[in-house]
Structure 1
Amino acid sequence: MLGAIFLIIILLLITQGILSNFQKKHKFFSKKLMNILFFYHLFFWLVYYLYALFNRSDSRSYYERPQNEFLNWFEHFGTSTTFIDFLSYPFINFLGFNYEMMMVFFAWLGYLGFVYAYLFFRENIPVKITVFKRFDLLTLILFFPNMHFWTASLGKGAPIFLGLMLFAYAIKNPKSRIILLILGSLLIYYIRPHVFMFVAVGTVLGYMSGKEKISFGKKLFIYIVLIGGLVLVQDTILGVAGLEGSDDLVEDFGNFSDNRSDSLSESGSGVDMSNYPLPLKLFTFWFRPLFFDAPGILGLITSVENLMYLLLFVKILKKDFITFIKNSNVVVKMSLVVFFLSSFAMTFIMSNLGIIMRQKSMVMYFAFFVIYYYLAQKKYDKILRLKKFKRAKELEVGKIVTI
C-alpha cells in the first residue's frame, strides 16, 4: 500500500502540470473543480479496491496474466483483453508495480477521461444549466458515482473511457488535435473494436448532416481516416463476434447475440431480455437496475443514479427535440448516433444487470451531452428572445419620446 500512496503523490504532481496547461489554453477551465474531481475519483479507487478484496474481480486476472513468464511484452499485443495485458506489462514487469499501484494507475487514466469529458462539454456548451432546481448539470454529470466506480480499477473501463473522451474532445478540431484523435481512436479500437465502429460511423454521419459549413478538405480528411480505418480493421471488428468470413451477417449476429445473452443470464443478476420489445430492451440498458431489481448494495446506489438518468431523459421528451436534432451540429449528431448504435447493439447481448451497469458507463456521457446541449440551446434561445423583446420595447419608448 505504501507504493500506491507514493504513486498517488507522483500522479497528483503530474496532474497539476496537466491542469495548469489546460487552464492556459481554455479560459473556462476550472483547475479547482478538476482537483476536487481528482480526490473524488481517488475515493472510488479505494472503494473498488476494498470491493475487490471481498468480491470476485477481473482486476486480479488483469494483474496476474502479464506476469506469465512464457510470454514477452509484444506477445500480449492484440485487441480486447490482451491489449490491457499489453498496457500493464511494462509497469508490472519493468517498473515493479504491485496490484495496488496498478489499480491506482488505471484509476488515474479514468480520471483523465473525466478531465477530457469536462473539456468536451464546456468547450462545446458555454451555457450553464441548473437541474432539479439547484444542481449545476455539468457538475452533476461529472460526479455521478457509477461512472467513477467502473473507471477506477485495473481493467478495460478506465482506458476505454479515456479513449472515448479524447476522441470527443479532439474531433472538434481534428487537424490541430490529430495526436489526441489518433491516440483516442487507437485506445477505443484496441480495447473494444466494435465501439470504434460505432464512433467512426457516428462521426461520419455527423459530418455529413451537421448544420455547420465545413470545408471540403476537413470533411475529406475525416472520411478518409475513419472510413479507411473501418475498411482496414473490419475483420477484427467482426472477429469480436466470430463473424469474420460470414455469409449471412444478420443471421449469424442473431445466433451470436442469443448465445451471448444466454451465457450472461446465467450469472447472479441475470435478466431475461430475449423476449423484450426493443423499447423495453433499451430502457433496461439505460435505466436499470432500478430499486425493484437492484442486485445488492451497489445496485441500490446505482438505482438512485439511474433514476436521475431517467429524470434527465424525460427533459428531452418534447416536440421540439426532433427539430433540435435536425438543426444540430456535428458533435451533437455524432454523440446521438454513437449512443444509439452502441445501445442498440448491446441490448441484444446484455442480459446481466452487473454487466449492463459496467458497459453503459462507456456511452452514457454521449447521451448526457445531447441532453445538456438541448437544454442549453433552449436557454440560449430564450435569452435571445428576451433581448429582442427588450430592444423592441426600448425602440418603442424612444419613438414615443421623440413624438
Structure 2
Amino acid sequence: MIGVLFLIIIFFILNQFIFGVYAKRHAFLDKKILNLLYLYHLLFYGVYTWYAYNNPSDSLHYFHVISTHQGSWLELFGTDTAFIHFFGYPFYNMGFNYDMLMLTFSWFGYLGFVYAYIFFREKIPIKINFFKIDLLTLILFFPNMHFWTASLGKGSAIFLGLMMFTYAIVNPKSRLFLLGLSSVIIYYIRPHVFMFVAVGTVLGYMSGKEKIPLWQKALVFVALGGALVLVQDQILAVMNLQDSENIIEDFQAQSAERAEDLSASGSGVDMSAYPLPFKLFTFWFRPLFIDAPNVLGLIVSAENLIYLLLFFKILKKDFIDFIKKSPAVVKMSFVIFISTSFAMTFVMSNLGIIMRQKSMVMYYIFFVIYYYLAQKKYEKIMKKRRLMKRREKVRKAEVVLE
C-alpha cells in the first residue's frame, strides 16, 4: 500500500513535468482538467484492482509469468502477450509488487488520454457542446475507456501507443521519436492493429485535402509500406495465416473458429449469422440495456447509448462529402476505425471481449464526429459573419444616399 501511494505521488510529479513540456508547445493545454483526469483514472485503477482480485483477470496471469521468470530479460521479448511480460519485467526487478505494476500500466493508459486530449485540441480548436456538456470533456471521461486502460495488460499499453502515434503523425518531422516509439509499441502488442494504422495513415496522407509536399507523402508511404512488407509474416501469424495459400478463405475459417471459442466463454452472442451492418452495430454499440451481462454491462450500456447518439450526428447526407473533402488526419482516423471494426466483427462474439477491444479504436470515430460537428459550427459562424458584413455594407450605402 505504501508503495502504491508513493507511486501515485511520483506519477503526479511526472505529470506536471510532462504538462510543462507540452504547455510550451501548445498554449491551449489545461493542466487543471488533466490533473482531474488523473484522479479520475486512479479511481478506475482502484475499481479494476478490486475486480481483478475477485474475478479471473489476465493481469494476474501476466504478473505470475513475470514474477516466476528465471531467465534473462531478453528471453521474454516477443509480440502479443510476450511483449507485456517483457515490458513489465524491469519494473518487477525494481521491486514493484502486483498492485504497483498495475498502477504503472494504469499510468501508461492515462498518458494515452493526455495525448488524445492534445491531439483533439490541436486539430479542433472549436468547442462543441453535446446536451450542454463540452464534447471533449465527455469523451475524455467515458468510464469504459478508463476501465480497460487502468490495469496491467495490453489495453493500457496499446492505447498509449495508438494515441501517441496519432499525435505524432500530425507533425512527423518534429515528432519522429514519438512516432517510432509508438509504432514499436503498437506492432509488438498487436501486429494486426499496426497494419490497420499503417494503411489508414498512408491512405489519409495520400488523399487528404492539404497540400502536403510530395517528398513527405513518399516518406510516409515508403516507411509504413516497407514496415508492412517486413513484418507481414508476423501480422499473418496472429491468425495462423503465415503459410496460407488462400488468405481470404483461411481467414474466414479462422474467424469462425475463434468466434465459436469466444461465444462459449459466458457472455457470448452468436454473430456468425448476422448481416455485416448488424455485426458492426454489435461491436460499436452493444451491450445495450436489454443484453447487459452484469453491473459493468449496465454502466457500459449507458455509455454505448451516448455512442449511438453521437453516431446519429453523422447520419447526414453531407457526411460523405465531408469525408471526401476532409484533411488527412480525419481520413486516417476514419479508415483506421472502419478497417479495425470490420476485422474485429469476424472474430468477436463475446460481449466482455467486445467491450475491451473496441476501447482501442472508438477515439478515432469520436475524432471524426467531433471534427464534423466543429466544421459545421465553423461554417455557420462564417456564414453569419458574411451576412453581418453585407448588412453593414447596405447600412453604410443607405447612410451615403441619405
User: TM-score by structure 2 length?
Assistant: 0.99
Is there any run of 5+ residues in structure 2 with no aligned partner, and where?
Answer: none
Provide the residue aligned with 1:150 in structure 2: 148
Q: Distance in 1 between matches of 2:279 and 2:244?
A: 26
> What whole-Å deviation, never above 9, does each CA across 1:338-382 have from its counterpart, x for those lacking one?
000000000000000000000000000000000000000000000
Provide the residue aligned with 2:110 in structure 1: 111
Provide the residue aligned with 2:94 in structure 1: 95
* 1:228 lines up with 2:213 in the alignment: no
Indicate the SS of the match to 1:128. coil
Q: Distance in 2 between matches of 1:28 and 1:241?
A: 43
Indicate the SS of the match to 2:352. helix
Provide the residue aligned with 2:127 in structure 1: 128
Provide the residue aligned with 1:32 in structure 2: 32
1:156-175 equivalences under 5 Å are 156-175=154-173
Deviation at 1:20, TM superposition (A): 1.5
Identity of aligned residues (%): 63
Provide the residue aligned with 1:288 in structure 2: 286
Provide the residue aligned with 2:242 in structure 1: 244
Provide the residue aligned with 1:324 in structure 2: 322
* 1:76 lines up with 2:76 in the alignment: yes
1:1-400 equivalences under 5 Å are 1-92=1-92, 94-132=93-131, 134-400=132-398
* Aligned AA (1:50): W
User: TM-score by structure 1 length?
Assistant: 0.99
Aligned Cα root-mean-square deviation (Å):
0.7
Indicate the SS of the match to 1:308. helix
> What whole-Å deviation, never above 9, does each CA across 1:38-58 have from its counterpart, x for those lacking one?
000000000001111111110
* Aligned AA (1:389): L
Indicate the SS of the match to 1:198. helix
Is there any run of 5+ residues in structure 1 with no aligned partner, and where?
Answer: none
1:392 to 1:360, Cα distance in 2 relative to 1, 3 A: same
Deviation at 1:71, TM superposition (A): 2.8
Moved over 2 A (4+): 67-71
* Aligned AA (1:298): L
Q: Distance in 2 between matches of 1:364 and 1:131?
A: 17
* Aligned AA (1:286): W
Q: Distance in 2 between matches of 1:327 and 1:292?
A: 39
Q: Distance in 2 between matches of 1:47 and 1:70?
A: 31
Deviation at 1:70, TM superposition (A): 3.6
Deviation at 1:35, TM superposition (A): 0.3
Q: Distance in 2 between matches of 1:356 and 1:288?
A: 8
> What whole-Å deviation, never above 9, does each CA across 1:255-310 have from its counterpart, x for those lacking one?
10000000000011000000000000000000000000001000000000000000
Indicate the SS of the match to 1:354. helix
* Aligned AA (2:85): D
